[in-house]
Amino acid sequence: MSTSESLVCIGVPVYNGEKFLKNALDSLLSQTFTNFNLIISDNSSTDSTQSICQEYAQKDKRIQYYRQTKNIGIVSNHKFILNKAKSKYFVWAAADDLWNNTFLEKNVKILENNKNFIGSISEIKQGYDLKQDWKTIVKNTKPENFTKGESVQLICGSYSNRIKTLLKLRQESGLYAVYRTEILKKSVDVDELYLWPFQILFKIAKFGETNLIDEVLMYKYEFGSTGVSTNLSFMLKQHLPLTYIIFPHLHFTTWCFRKLGIKTVFKNFFLITRYFLQGESQLLIELLKK
């Protein structure tokens, strides 16, 4: 099946994901919804990621594997895959996440039947045992060991209300919803800041609402290696300007003024200020521990 014939494109950006990748790919390839192609972009991994990707690409013709000749950064790696997508829908899939086999089927059905939604995602359970395979993890997820609304929420109402919900939630998990590809492509022109997922989520919110399925269909590893880190060590590795490292949330706040508009910022001034102060205090604590 060619990329243009698929209804959904799954994008897997990965760097040194040998501990997680097989489990992730197994859960994606076991989806009940099969009209998809899967693009992997290996960001010049130094472990066995390359051999794992090549093995799976040989077994399943829906997989396209690309290996970057050098590390192009986490943001550019995400964009690389999205630019390759020609399908109606697109979903980024972190190499250390797992999915119930009905994740695509249920989310695509929502988008096909509700034109007002620009994206759809399920509830997410945080933390799973790396020693278990994905089928065991799915089977062991019970309501009593799951915190509802911890990672994602319904993004609805006015644009200002959508931004307010995202600021209150302070989670980037919504980045991994199934989105209408054309909308997502309009929302990825963001700065190479460590808070880039929130920039994308805020830009997506301009186009419409994101649905939330009231069921756990996705699972995140508690100490994920491929997700977005906001700690000091990550920022140093990204070779960010010194001012970005010292005042990371200040630059994000400035971005909010430029991209969201003064009216939206002032409506949510308390939440943005709380976001800023909490981020700076976390950085200060980390510096003191060094």
pLDDT tens over the chain, length 290 residues: 455 579 999 999 999 999 999 999 999 999 999 999 999 999 999 999 999 999 999 999 999 999 999 999 899 999 999 999 999 999 999 999 999 999 999 999 999 999 999 999 999 988 777 777 778 877 776 666 677 888 999 999 998 889 889 988 888 999 999 999 999 999 998 876 667 898 899 999 999 999 999 999 999 986 554 444 445 555 555 555 666 666 666 677 777 777 777 777 777 777 766 665 655 555 555 555 55
Considering the domain architecture, whether residues 93 and 38 belong to the same structural domain is answered as yes
Cβ contacts of 240 within 8 Å, gap of 6 or more: 192, 193, 194
> CB burial class (10 A; 0-12, 13-18, 19+) of residue 281?
exposed
- The pLDDT assigned to 58 comes to 98
Considering the domain architecture, whether residues 182 and 261 belong to the same structural domain is answered as no
Considering the domain architecture, whether residues 257 and 163 belong to the same structural domain is answered as no
Structural contact between residues 238 and 228, judged by C-beta atoms closer than 8 angstroms: no
Residue ending a domain, among 185, 203, 228, is 228
Number of structural domains the chain divides into = 2
Considering the domain architecture, whether residues 259 and 290 belong to the same structural domain is answered as yes
Considering the domain architecture, whether residues 103 and 132 belong to the same structural domain is answered as yes
CATH number at residue 10: 3.90.550.10
Residue ending a domain, among 211, 228, 245, is 228
> CB burial class (10 A; 0-12, 13-18, 19+) of residue 154?
middle
Two tokens, residue 40: 């992997």
Considering the domain architecture, whether residues 214 and 248 belong to the same structural domain is answered as no
Cβ contacts of 32 within 8 Å, gap of 6 or more: 101, 102, 104, 105
Rounded (to 5) percent helix, strand, coil in the chain: 45, 20, 35
Considering the domain architecture, whether residues 125 and 245 belong to the same structural domain is answered as no
Structural contact between residues 42 and 87, judged by C-beta atoms closer than 8 angstroms: no
- Domain holding 133, by residue range, is 3-228
β strands within 150-254, DSSP E: 178-180, 209-220
Considering the domain architecture, whether residues 18 and 162 belong to the same structural domain is answered as yes
Residue ending a domain, among 199, 228, 257, is 228
Considering the domain architecture, whether residues 236 and 212 belong to the same structural domain is answered as no
Considering the domain architecture, whether residues 169 and 222 belong to the same structural domain is answered as yes
Cβ contacts of 127 within 8 Å, gap of 6 or more: 220, 221, 222
Considering the domain architecture, whether residues 180 and 263 belong to the same structural domain is answered as no
Long-range Cβ contacts of 274-280 (<8 Å, 24+ apart): 275/167, 275/170, 275/249, 276/249, 276/250, 276/252, 277/249, 279/230, 279/248, 279/249, 279/252, 280/247, 280/248, 280/249, 280/250
Structural contact between residues 120 and 184, judged by C-beta atoms closer than 8 angstroms: no
Considering the domain architecture, whether residues 190 and 280 belong to the same structural domain is answered as no
Question: Most distant CA pair in the chain: distance in Å?
Answer: 54
